[in-house]
Amino acid sequence: GGFSQCRSVLITGSSRGLGLRMVNMLVNSPQRPNVIIATARNPATAQASVERAFKEVASLVGPGGLNCLINNAAVSMSTDLEKVTAEAMLKTFESNAVSPLMVTKAFLPLLRAAAAQVPGMGIHRAAVAALNMVTRCLANDLGSEGILCMALHPDLGGPHADLSVEESVSSVLSVVAGLSEKDHGGYWDYSGKILLW
C-alpha cells in the first residue's frame, strides 16, 4: 500500500514549505518511491523550462513513465477587494491555475506511459493534485486513459493554519497514498474528508 508500489513521483514547488517537507517525508518514508524528483521552482513559468524539465524527468524515469505528479507550486494573495490589482490577480491565477495545467500537459506523455504499464493500480498509475477547476477538467479528459486526477487542500501549514507544515504534509501524503479509482475527480482536505467543489 501507500507509495511503496509507486515507482516515481514528481513534486513541483519543492524549494520551501509544504513541497520541501513533502520531499523530505517521502525520502525518509519506509514506503519510499524508487524515484523522487523535486523541482525548486515551478517549471511552467517558461516553455523552455518546461521542455528542459520534461527531458530531465524522462531520462530519470525511463520507459516506465511518471506515476505521480504533485502540482504543489502555488502563490497566495492576501489582500482585500479594495486593494487588489489586476496584475496581482493575473499573477495568482497564472501560478495557481494555468501553471499546474501546463505542467500536467507537459508531463502527460510520461503519465500516460506509467498508466499503460500496470492497469488497475489506481493511484499508483498516476495522480495529479492540482487546483479545483483544473483538476475537474483534467479528470474529465484523462480518466478514460487510467490517469487519476484529484485535488487536496493541505491546510497550508502557515502560521494561522490548524496544522504545522509537518502535520499537513504527513496528512496529505497519507490521503494520497489511500486514493483509488473511486476517488477520481474528487476534492479532499488533509484529513481525507471529502470537500465540496
Domain ranges of the chain: 8-189
Q: Rounded mean pLDDT of the chain?
A: 74
Distance between CA atoms of residues 11 and 68, nearest Å: 8
pLDDT tens sequence across 80-138:
667 878 887 777 777 767 777 788 888 889 988 887 775 543 332 333 333 555 676 67
pLDDT of residue 185: 79
Is the alpha carbon torsion for 134, 138, 140, 146 positive or negative? negative
- Yes or no: say if 154 and 168 are a contact pair by the CB < 8 Å rule: yes
Query: 113-139: b or e for each residue (b if 16 or more CB lie within 10 Å)?
Result: bbbebeeebbbbbbbbbbbeebbbebb
- Report the pLDDT averaged over residues 187-197: 75
pLDDT of residue 105: 87
pLDDT of residue 124: 29
pLDDT of residue 128: 36
Q: Identify the CATH number of the domain defined by range 8-189.
A: 3.40.50.720
pLDDT of residue 133: 55
pLDDT confidence of 33, banded at 50, 70, 90?
confident
